[in-house]
Amino acid sequence: MVKTPPVPFVTQRRLIGLNEILNFAYDAFHSNKLQFALTALAMAVGTASVILVATIGLTGKQYILRQLQSIGTNMIYADYQGGSRRIDSTPDFMTVDDVWAVRDQVPSVVAASPTISLNDRISVGGGKQTDILVLGAAPDYMRVRNLMILAGRFFDAEDTASRNKVGLITEKLAQKLFSSPSAAIGQIIKLSTGLPFTVIGTFKESVETFGQSEIQDDTMLIPYTVSRFFTPESTVYEIYFSVATPQDVVPATAAIKRVLQSRHRPESVYNVQNLTQLLTVASRVADALTVILMLVAFVTLLVSGIGIMNIMLATVTSRIREIGIRKAVGATNREIRFQFLAEAVLIALVGGVVGIVTGLAIPYSARFLTDYRVPISGLSAIIAIIVSSIVGILFGTVPATRASQLDPVESLRYE
């Protein structure tokens, strides 16, 4: 029978010392509940702040990206910028034939619409007149721009082929002219030329662009084929495309630009853009703001660490005689130092755990009580507990070192 060799004395002494240190730390915490609880509470607030700030930052980022994506993450738009070499050259505008050429040569394009912008003045029943923007577009325009139909319908391929005098107006224009979007359906709007259009629908953008897009507050959409009555040339001011997936956006943008350039004069310049760069910038800005807010939350943890140091310094002063007795019976400076350091770390960890539970409980409650899926960062919880431990060690070192350096004789005589 092989006997297990006994544990060396040094190892045994180290294990006993660690156990004693943890027991002393727990006893000190238990005997000064109020002081340690208040200090741990400050640490809990700091830790919870880190998690909540990360949650708020992620929620804000998610909201911003969703708003931008609602405009159309798969959208690509092109317009004519002019000539790059000959200033006096005849403008080389895009045409509707460019739309079909792109559809044929770029397989990832699933929808496309040319647009023509016309400023006009309309009159409706009761003598009401107002300036509006008339926008000629194809049926695919609703899909490309991700428009929301509030009442009625969008014009279709039959309306376009038959050149029906129908149109859709914005929600704000419907409120202005007819008091409500639903009341606008079936109403007649006459342009300055006297041509009457029947309102078949009202719409709005999925995201409020505050007049910064091609759609203004007072806009009427009409079939592209009808808008050709008002323009002698077959020019197209802008073309909007939609691709199958977000991954197709960048390569399709380059391909569309190549097709347009190949169909026009070499000196002509066409601007083909997408929202990918805007989404990237918005994401970076949101991340930067989150980092800044987390740094502010870390200041709270530092303040909590100063509170731990003050409490531990007061604890050392009130336990000088106890330290002298422990040294008299054989406790080393190292064991005294680790005893008080363990107490500081214990306060920091207790506060950190409470803060993490609180910080995670709030977003989880929001998920449970509402339909909105609040983003939760597990990384922030890990960072928070690590920082709490580091704060406990850093701000507990000074009191622990002071306690370990006390003279045992003077400590025994301390009253």
> Between 108 and 348, where is the model more confident?
108
For residues 259 and 348, the answer to whether their CB atoms sit within 8 Å is: no
> Between 295 and 17, where is the model more confident?
295
State what percent of residues in the chain have pLDDT above 70: 84
For residues 351 and 42, the answer to whether their CB atoms sit within 8 Å is: yes
> How many CB atoms lie under 10 A from the CB of residue 80?
20
For residues 78 and 257, the answer to whether their CB atoms sit within 8 Å is: yes
Single pTM value for the model: 0.61
Res 408 pLDDT > 60:
yes
What pLDDT sits at residue 4? 42
Rounded to 10 degrees, what is the CA torsion of 153, 155, 159, 163? 130
What pLDDT sits at residue 79? 87
Res 87 pLDDT > 60:
no
Q: How big, in percent rounded to 5, are the helix, strand and coil portions of the chain?
A: 60, 20, 20
Query: d(Cα 349, Cα 321) in Å, to the nearest integer?
Result: 27
Q: How confident is the model at residue 360 (pLDDT cuts 50, 70, 90)?
A: confident
pLDDT digits (tens, 9 = 90+) for 213-236: 778 888 999 999 888 888 766 788
> How many CB atoms lie under 10 A from the CB of residue 212?
8
What pLDDT sits at residue 199? 92
Collapsing DSSP to helix, strand or coil, 164 comes out as coil
What pLDDT sits at residue 71? 67
Q: What is the mean pLDDT of the chain?
A: 79
Residue 68, classified by CB atoms within 10 Å of its CB into exposed (0-12), middle (13-18) or buried (19+), is middle
Beta strands in 15-125 (DSSP E): 75-83, 94-95, 109-124
> Between 53 and 71, where is the model more confident?
53
Q: What single-letter amino acid sits at 38? A: L
What pLDDT sits at residue 412? 64
> How many CB atoms lie under 10 A from the CB of residue 15?
11
What pLDDT sits at residue 25? 63
Kind of pairing between the strands at 235-236 and 94-95: antiparallel
Greatest mean pLDDT among 159-163, 285-289, 314-318, 389-393:
159-163
